[in-house]
Amino acid sequence: MELQLSTWPEIETYLKRSRLIVIPIGSMEQHGPTGLIGTDFICPEVIARKASKASDVMVGPTFNVGVAQHHMSFAGSICLRPSTMIAVMNDWTNALAHHGFNKLVWLNGHGGNIATINAAFAEYYHQRNYAADGIHKNVRCILRNWWDLRGIADLCARLYPEGHGQHATISEVAVTYFCHPELSKTEELSPKIAPKHEPFTDADDYRRKYPDGRIGSDPSLARAKDGALIIETATLSLAEELKTLNSES
């Protein structure tokens, strides 16, 4: 059940049986010469929607732009300031809490979002600590990175013994190729496996160290059929987690 594809009476009905919602959250940023700008929202979106069907838990709209300052020297990347993202996430959280949702699982597709998502949670709870009334006191914000879902790390290690990487990873590219097979690219990149392990600061520094955008990966190995497997595994794990959350008081 998708919030954006529901009517308000349907959501009202849903809220009588559950107060849980899962929100895909991603980024709009370069993913190497062959990866899609939208990779980081496409992955959690497809997983969350499939898990929603498997668990009868509502999935919210996708939060599609995040904190991607270090990718800004590659065309097409879009970035929120962390302070902006905190404000937006609080607006969403206040709205959903207002309607009665009390467990918000943010299914994240971008490592660079993690810090700001946690900061946004703290900002929300801080405001709540001082609130006079008690109505939203039991809202719980939960961050889940899709690559941390049970089974994913093992699966990726098995599928990609080499070159899985840290950015524009084979697995995330494979997931997007499954969703958009016509966009699959299998050309070999140079170097085959991108450099890694160099700390970076801003966008220029990042591009200097990672000239084609990838970190440690060889996405030429990404195949749609493996993407399907990854999605299936992630969906099962997430659906299970959501059912457990739903059954908790």
Residue list 157-186, contact with its own copies (CB under 8 A): 180, 183, 185
* CA 215 to each of CA 54, 71, 173, 193: distance values in angstroms, whole numbers, following the listed order: 34, 12, 13, 8
How many CA atoms are closer than 13 Å to the CA of 134, on its beta-carbon side?
0
Query: Closest CB to its own copies among 101 and 160?
Result: 101
Please answer whether residues 149 and 238 qualify as being in contact, where contact means their C-beta atoms are separated by less than 8 angstroms.
yes
CB of 162 to its own copies, least distance (A): 23
Q: Which of residues 24-63 bind its own copies (CB under 8 A)?
A: 28, 30-38, 41-42, 60-62
* Structure tokens given for 6: 């529901």
CB of 198 to its own copies, least distance (A): 12
Query: Closest CB to its own copies among 164 and 207?
Result: 207
Instruction: Determine, following the binding rule CB under 8 A, whether residue 192 of this chain makes contact with its own copies.
Output: no
Query: Closest CB to its own copies among 83 and 186?
Result: 83
* Structure tokens given for 8: 């308000």
Q: Which of residues 64-103 bind its own copies (CB under 8 A)?
A: 64-65, 67, 69-70, 72-84, 86-88, 91-92, 94-96, 98-100
Phi and psi at 140, nearest 5°, equal -120, 125
> What sign for the dihedral angle of Cα 124, 130, 136, 141?
positive
Write down the residue that tokens 């467990």 correspond to: 103
Query: Closest CB to its own copies among 138 and 154?
Result: 138
